[in-house]
Amino acid sequence: MKKFTFIKKFLVLTMFVGFLGNYANAQFSLSGEVRPRMEYLHGYSTLTDKDSDPAGFASQRTRINFNYSHDRVKMFVSLQDVFLWGAQPQLFSTSNSVSMHQAWGQYYLTPSLSLKLGRQELVYDDERIFGNSNWDQQGRSHDVALLRYNGMLRIDIGAAFNQNEKHLNGAYYNLNNYKMMQFVWLNTDVTDNMNLSLLFLNNGYQYDFVLNEDGHNHQKTKDVYNQTLGGRLLFTPGDFNFHASAYYTMGKDTKDRELSAYYVGLGAEYTLHDVWTYGIGWEHLSGTDQKDMIENPDGYKNKSFNPFYGSSHKFNGFMDYFNTNGNWANSVGLNDIFASIQYSKRNFELNLTGHAFLTAASVIKDGNVNETMEPFLGAEVDLTMSYKLSNTSNVVLGYSQMFGSETLQAIKGGDNAAWNNYAYLMFTFKPVFLK
């Protein structure tokens, strides 16, 4: 029972540190999270077939969060366990699914300048490029060094270098992840109701390939890099909220192909009587023509935009058909035209969002590179209801429906005429044990 032994030791340690903190004028807190989610899937992420049976399961995220602050030092540790209900035997288990979601220390060189080191979430702006992917039970975090300045101009400079094991020679990396990453994020309030963010991101990946020399094949590696530049403008006059984002990526993709891709996002929201919120928006993620992929599979220019480390579930529909970090990567891109209406009062919130999806690049028809299909991919409707049960708990009920087109069927397979839907029920409990 390694998992439970580790948890007991962690709890004893945190309680001991908290006891000492009371006498050292330190700030200490211990909190937790239990988040079970029941899901029904029949056409989630990809079109189902008429004869396919729906799927269903329950998953759970459990976290214990330790927070410590004293003088110039801050420390945060988040211990996490993610599992499916019923995946482990009831009486005995040899699995150890406990992981460290976050574990970082921060030292303040001055009141405005700090150095933050360790495993941590990176969340910037609307989470399009950097987000914690909180919908995913496991979430997203990075092993990174972060230099942070928090003044009238906010500046974050981050750097990461990944290895999956210690090496005495070389730096071979065999995980599907960036090998190196550096970024600079700048944010400032232009006026009282206008905020501007700028981002520069450099990614380095290891590319594995076979080189034939003198009639012999040799396994080789090389590091390839790409750069993303862009920013986000937020304007909030009165009850209105306007925002615009644009990013451009250049360099090489993970397969050493030339990369040139871009993103544009526009949106607006209006709040009426602090109860109703109406929103409209459009996102464009550039894509690569299928004709180019077929005619030159190894050497085509990659024009498909990838948001890299963003919170993908937050965008382009809750059924995750167009997750560019997964099943829609290096594809024909996407145009997403959407509108939403939200009702919020006291502890209750209701949200209805409709999406119209179109390709950003051409899709060939029946393998004929000279004939293309209609760009319309389909429409999705997302309905969510949430209720705050207490200060530390809430419940969310959601239902989504995809009305796919023949073009979507040609890309993803399945049957666009089938009833493609998704539903979930999620509870979140976030108690504070010590404060």
Contact 120, 141 (CB under 8 A): yes
Task: Identify whether the C-beta of residue 245 lies closer than 8 Å to the C-beta of residue 263.
Answer: yes
> What is the structure's pLDDT at 18?
57
CB 200 within 8 Å of CB 184: yes
pTM: 0.92
User: Domain count of the chain?
Assistant: 1
Whether pLDDT at 23 is above 70: no
Tokens 């705050």 belong to residue: 388
Average pLDDT of the chain is 92
Share of the chain above pLDDT 90, in %: 81
CB atoms within 10 A of CB 77: 20
Q: Which residues, other chains included, contact 371 with Cβ-Cβ below 8 Å and sequence gap of 6+?
A: 364, 365
Residue 381 lies in domain: 2-434
User: Domain of 383: which CATH number?
Assistant: 2.40.160.100
Buried/exposed code over 159-185 (b: 16+ C-beta within 10 A; e: otherwise) = ebebeeeeeeeeeebeeeebbbbbbeb
Per-residue pLDDT tens digits for 316-366:
999 999 987 777 888 999 999 999 999 999 999 999 999 999 999 999 999
At 140-193, the pLDDT tens digits run 999 999 999 999 999 999 999 999 999 888 888 988 899 999 999 999 999 999
The residue written with tokens 């919120």 in the block is: 277
Residue labelled with tokens 């700090």: 114
